[in-house]
Structure 1
């Protein structure tokens, strides 16, 4: 009888482990594997429809301007031999902004900010992150491996194009990317970082998504998925921490977050600001959903970006 129960117990354990492995691979494919059409928890459309006529006009002009620009395609080989690509709008200047896009977007999705920076005298680089757009890679790095890619783009732009004053600016996953980059050793040409709607860490953000999309606790599914991510993508969710990176930051930061953001909770913006080293500013935007501060308050957004950039470049 004892032997029978041992066999039954072993079978049950095997079934549970197999189920967890299956579930972990499913969530990896949903959240990390390249090209999956994944549903995200997000706010209602109501919080994304606040723009006035002036704001809407500014957005339309910026988007139209971007569409008409000639864009050079630049290529770079990453530290782990992936071919990465970016679009480049050259200006007659030593100033450069690197605009970093969000989850399952491309560099073109940051194009609406390009005119603002170009008008301030910047050249504009819009990379496709690894696993996105025209760049190689079969997984999404959530900013962790991407932080090293941004470092390499910075080096390339300094050496090849003579960039001497560089701003890093990102949205959502791109915001987490530039904040993670800020914790690395960067050349003095990098002057400041702007991050709109960043998450405090990959584990924290995926925990939030599991709860609101699937109504599931993080343990043990997220831990299993993180292990699979380590095997298939080379990083765990826990190590990909925005908070730990910004603790090492020494650059001026402008952290932007909507107070109606349900995709990346507003509290994460506060957590990042509290943890960050260096000079820092926090702008919590009323009634703005995820990355909707620009859309809702375009004129004010541009004003604050200009003020921050002017301040950090005149130091």
Structure 2
């Protein structure tokens, strides 16, 4: 499969972190942009992310980026806290490119950041949380116990750096950031779509319900039968359906 051409750019956050990003021009409407926020240990150059960006480009332009501590971006990952500044830099870049309508679509950790960014910073026209956690410190599945080991143990952080190229800050959270379900009611009046699979091995569907139940209108919840977790399990059909929802939900200024 050949992907739409992307144009790399280096952004800088308000706290001075370099963020590696890329703009994929729209193959559809010219005024809509999707900001694509990847999951923990992901990167915009990975094939799964590029495939998703290609599908979304049929609905509008796409700005994809590497979170701090990931890929070619600078800094260290704070696993969902200061990453709101990375999303903010990507949204500002989309506006600079001339896009009048901007939606943020986040996967897993990126979903948590997307919801928190919309609540704390605003400036977006729609938010989509895909496979996102509703709350912090969840250890109820084997994959999430492995994630916590990678975040909390020195050996785990070293393994994440060597195997995935992800650099994780060792100091942890102080204070604990606003959880996604706590941020959800602050997203309104921006439209919020919560997407979750009933076969997610990381977060059971009660996380999706926790976000959705806490949010206020306008909001929508999709529980996808047979869908696993985040980017790797997302089919082109699901991405196209999200793209159509974004196109219909984002009102032109």
Residue 87 of structure 1 is matched in structure 2 by 22
RMSD: 2.7
Q: Which has the higher helix share?
A: 1
Greater Rg over alpha carbons, structure: 1
Are the structure 2 counterparts of residues 210 and 119 from structure 1 closer, same or farther at C-alpha, using a change threshold of 3 Å? Answer: closer
Checking the alignment, whether the CA contact within 8 Å between 1:254 and 1:280 is kept in structure 2 is: yes
Q: Deviation of residue 232 (structure 1)?
A: 4.5
Q: CA deviation at 1:74?
A: 1.2
Closer/same/farther in 2, CA of residues 312 and 210 from structure 1, 3 Å limit: same
Separation (CA, whole Å) in 2 of partners of 1:249 and 1:262: 27
Tell me the TM-score normalized by structure 2.
0.79
Indicate the residue corresponding to 1:184 in structure 2: 120
Task: Tell me the residue number matched to 1:157.
Answer: 94
The aligned residue for residue 167 of structure 1 is 103
For 1:87 and 1:255, the matched residues in 2 are separated by 25
CA distance in 2, matches of 1:246, 1:129: 21
- Quick one: distance in 2 between partners of 1:261 and 1:82? 32
Q: 1:283, CA displacement in angstroms? A: 0.7
- TM, length-normalised to structure 1: 0.65
Runs of 5+ in structure 2 lacking a partner? 154-168
3-state SS, counterpart of residue 119 of structure 1: coil
Deviation at 1:80, TM superposition (A): 2.2
1:232-311 mapped onto 2 (5 Å cutoff):
232-233=170-171, 235-236=173-174, 238-250=176-188, 251-291=190-230, 294-295=234-235, 298-299=236-237, 301-311=238-248
Contact 2:101 2:251 in 1 (8 A): no
Of 81-90 and 164-173, more deviation after overlay is shown by 81-90
Corresponding residue for residue 208 of structure 1? 140
| Ranges of 4+ aligned residues in structure 1 off by more than 6 Å | none
Which structure 2 residues correspond to residues 209-228 of structure 1 after superposition, within 5 A? 213=145
Q: CA offsets, 1:25-56, max 9 Å, x none?
A: xxxxxxxxxxxxxxxxxxxxxxxxxxxxxxxx
Cα distance, 1:152 vs. partner? 2.4
Aligned-pair CA distance for 1:244: 1.3
Report deviation, 1:88.
Answer: 1.4
Match of 2:10 among 55, 75, 96: 75
Runs (5+) with no aligned partner, structure 1: 1-63, 223-230
CA distance in 1, matches of 2:127, 2:244: 13
Other structure's SS at 1:208 match? coil
The alpha carbon displacement at 1:123 in A equals: 1.2
* 2:130 alignment counterpart: 196
Q: Deviations over 1:97-140 (max 9, x none)?
A: 111100101013422222222212x11111100010000113x2
